Amino acid sequence: MKRVLLITYYWPPSGGSGVQRWLKYARYLPASGWQPVIYTPLNPEAPATDESLLSDVPPEAEILKRPITEPYQWYKKVTGRKESVNVGFIRSERDGPESRAELFSRWVRGNFFIPDARCLWIRPSVRYLRSYLSQNPADAIISTGPPHSMHRIAQKLAHKTGLPWLADFRDPWTGIDFYDDLLLTPPADHLHHRMERAVLSKADVVTTVSPHISRELYRKGARRVEVIPNGYDPADFSGLEDSRKPDSNTFTLLHSGSLVPSRNPHSLWAALSRLCDTLPGFRESLRIRLVGSVDGSVRQSVEKAGLSRQCEVVPYLPHQEALREVFSSDVLLLLINQTANAEGFLSGKVFEYLAAGRPVLCIGPKKGDAAALLRETEAGLTHDFDDQDGIFITLKEWFAAWQKQQPVTTPNLEAVQKYSRPFQAAQVAALLDRLPARND
């Protein structure tokens, strides 16, 4: 069996969306002849902990964990916070306005820790891995980001060892939605772009999750980009069919994952408020469940729309419990960030939505990659950010079908099945098989 070194910041027992993609690929790569060797921090600042994910680690995997030094301990001292910065700078209502110390810390993080707060791990990791590979040869390197320091480790290691390198972009680098929130000076912004171009131009192949991001990466200097979307693991859904409660008297709308300010669906709240006021029985039946980190601004919008009694915010759940929530819901909400890269937004949860077979209501650009996926799989509908009337009509129709216990959508199962993790892991293995030897 050939060996591939996977450099990733997120690995079980860390939880959250950043873990899923390569944990699942690593699980199924041995079936295609590749043994994963995982290099990951011993003491990461994980957004959540999910011990249940450890069961997905394949027995063939070799795990290398090394200590990492991160600036978050200093951040906590300066700001007085007990936790680190949340992904996308999510703030809860209890946080209040951002303090001067927090703003200063964010400016320091953006301008002195480039490309991200894990940059202090680059040099010791290259030194350790170079020594490790001299005694334990591998056939290829994979890096996955963000954090993009993982790509910097792989870039230097590939140059020193001559091993072929696949760089995986789960999200953009300088095109990510919160890039402007880093408060970058012109020199720091220039350095980010220069590092990004170097990674894209040096990697033998770049993979990413959507066609839109693929085109963006080509424009920024990538030589070869392959789109391998996120997906779902059929094994995760075993036994979840029983989660559905056919006698339920609640019409449940569910969003799973982080809700940052740019993802706040103002038109949805307005449409739901109108339906509560005009449609008999809707207010009494409506239940909104937001599972994951929710920014305080989203909670305020829900309250302003008069939906507080219908809405419940559920903190982070282990992956299997979150999937159970998906299965027990009537409508699944896919909320796209209202940012410049909205058309390329294609998160991992949408594929688990598809596998659950529940109707998906997407609020985002109709020309985006998420909208195209829903059309291809016939799994739901997309409405533009400001299409309050369209959202109102769709939910009114779906509520009427729910009352009659009629299906709202009939997904195209053949189209959905090609997004399974085993199928995609085989695609990754095929890419690795075709990578040429390097001659740096």
Mean pLDDT of 122-136: 97
Query: What is the pLDDT at residue 303?
Result: 96
pLDDT range class, residue 102, cuts 50, 70, 90: confident
Residues of the chain with CATH 3.40.50.2000: 2-231+420-434, 234-417
pLDDT tens profile 288-347: 999 988 999 999 999 999 999 999 999 888 888 889 999 889 999 999 989 887 888 888
Q: What are phi and psi of 146, to 5 degrees?
A: -75, 160
Q: What is the CA radius of gyration of the chain?
A: 22
Q: Is 65 left (phi over 0), alpha (psi -120 to 50) or beta?
A: beta
Least confident range from 53-57, 75-79, 91-95, 315-319: namely 91-95
Quote the tokens at residue 385.
Answer: 């950010």
Q: Is the pLDDT of residue 375 over 50?
A: yes
Nearest Cα to Cα of residue 335 among 247, 243, 423, 267: 267
Q: In this structure, are strands 360-363 and 34-41 parallel, antiparallel, or unpaired? A: unpaired
Query: What is the pLDDT at residue 257?
Result: 87
pLDDT range class, residue 246, cuts 50, 70, 90: low
pLDDT tens profile 14-24: 988 789 999 99
Mean pLDDT of 53-76: 88
List of residues 6+ apart from 135 with CB closer than 8 A? none
pLDDT tens profile 148-163: 999 999 999 999 999 9
CATH number attached to the domain at 234-417:
3.40.50.2000
Q: At what angle do helices 122-135 and 149-161 cross, to 10 degrees?
A: 40
pLDDT tens profile 248-265: 789 999 999 889 898 999
Quote the tokens at residue 5.
Answer: 């070194």
Query: What is the pLDDT at residue 284?
Result: 95
CATH number attached to the domain at 2-231+420-434:
3.40.50.2000
